[in-house]
Amino acid sequence: MASTDYDVLVDMGFDKERVALAVKKTGGLQGALEWLEETQDKPLEELVGSSATVLDEDDPNAEPPALKIGEEAHSLVCADCGKKFRSEAQASFHGAKSGHLNFEESTEEIAPLTEEEKKAKLAELREKLAAKRSTMSDQDKIDKKKNEDIRKKSTKETQDIKEDLQKKEQIKEAAAKRREKVAEVAAKEKIRAKIAADKEERRLKAEKEKAARDGRAPPVPVAASPVATTSSPISSKPASAYTETRLRLQTTSGNVQKSFPVDTTLFEVAAALGAESGFEAHSFVQNYPKKVFDQIDFGQTLKELGLVPSASLIVR
């Protein structure tokens, strides 16, 4: 290729080493432009290695043939597509690019590109490069949007996990406070019962002392509860004696009956129902007596909620 073509390509902004490779491999302006367009995304090291491999097949010091100034021009014709080429280097480049293998010699001389033709080819290449850069820019925008969507989705999933953990912690804290409140009420009841028992004991003692002074028989204490006889009906088993409770859970997809230990929390019941039927429970409703157990009650056990030995609940 003439040096003027080399200068034109360098003036267009192409790397000098890439232009030199294009000159060496193609031997013409048109072929060099096509080669530069085809290989613009490949690293220079790969192109240099590829070029060396092609040249070394015949002679390590060989260079692609190119027309010299004053040299008589002969052409080659691709028998597969009919294109004509001024040098073997151009024909080889065409064969490598298109896969065509059949070439024939031609006595027809191909005139070199005029200045107008060169300008037209350069303008065409600039348009192709601008279109390719625009396509790459659009693709970059698409990739950037995809990455942003992935980041937002990951952030939302992380936030959902945090909120779920916070919700569970709140349920645990509410359950702990409820247990503390129940324990406090039980302690106060125990103290009141103790005070009442001490008061009754002092009253009986005073009556006995008074009866002794008056010479009367001491009063007989009133029994707290009648003594059960064999003829009386057998009392039912107290709820505190049960270790399991049977629940009938009514969902929109059907009824589920399961047995749970009495110390199972309502939160664990909801989790078991979700694992078995996929239904997410937000609250439970008991028709008789009418009660609604929401997520504040999820930390309490079935025994604490009075759902022993059995209960029927509507799941919402």
| Omega before residue 64 within 30° of 0, cis | no
Q: What is the mean pLDDT of residues 29-53?
A: 74
Handedness of CA 175, 176, 177, 183 (dihedral sign): positive
* Ordered alpha helix ranges (H), the chain: 3-11, 16-26, 29-38, 44-56, 88-98, 115-214, 266-277
For residue range 56-74, list pLDDT tens digits in order.
Answer: 444 434 333 444 444 444 6
Q: What is the mean pLDDT of residues 135-161?
A: 85
Q: Which residue has the higher pLDDT, 112 or 3?
A: 112
Distance linking the first and last C-alpha atoms of the chain:
83
For residues 221 and 287, is the Cβ–Cβ distance under 8 A?
Answer: no
The residue to which tokens 């009141």 are assigned: 192
Confidence (pLDDT) at 73: 44
* Residue 147 amino acid letter: N
Q: Which residue has the higher pLDDT, 226 or 5?
A: 5
Quote the tokens at residue 303: 């025994």
Q: What is the mean pLDDT of residues 143-151?
A: 88
Mean pLDDT across the chain: 78
Q: Strand pairing of 291-293 and 310-315?
A: unpaired
Confidence (pLDDT) at 24: 80
Radius of gyration of the chain (CA): 48
Confidence (pLDDT) at 74: 60
Confidence (pLDDT) at 228: 44
Contact residues for 293 (Cβ-Cβ < 8 A; gap 6+): 266, 283, 284, 285, 286, 305, 313
Contact residues for 47 (Cβ-Cβ < 8 A; gap 6+): 18, 21, 39
For residues 64 and 24, is the Cβ–Cβ distance under 8 A?
Answer: yes
Q: Which residue has the higher pLDDT, 184 or 31?
A: 184
User: What CA–CA distance (Å, rounded) separates 175 from 169?
Assistant: 10
Shortest CA distance to 242 belongs to which of 148, 308, 188, 304? 308
User: What CA–CA distance (Å, rounded) separates 36 from 23?
Assistant: 10
Q: Which residue has the higher pLDDT, 40 or 155?
A: 155
162 HSE (CA, 13 A, CB side): 6
pLDDT-above-70 percentage for the chain = 81
Q: Which residues pair with 257 in a beta bridge?
A: 248
* Residue 242 amino acid letter: Y
Give how far the C-alpha of residue 137 lies from the chain's centroid of Cα atoms, to the nearest Å.
Answer: 27
Confidence (pLDDT) at 209: 87
Shortest CA distance to 272 belongs to which of 256, 296, 286, 285? 256
For residues 248 and 315, is the Cβ–Cβ distance under 8 A?
Answer: no
Q: Strand pairing of 103-106 and 75-78?
A: antiparallel
For residue range 200-235, list pLDDT tens digits in order.
Answer: 999 989 988 888 888 777 776 655 444 444 444 444
* Ordered alpha helix ranges (H), 215-265: none
| Omega before residue 221 within 30° of 0, cis | no
Confidence (pLDDT) at 69: 46
Confidence (pLDDT) at 63: 39
Lowest mean pLDDT among 29-33, 50-54, 84-88, 99-103: 50-54
Confidence (pLDDT) at 202: 92
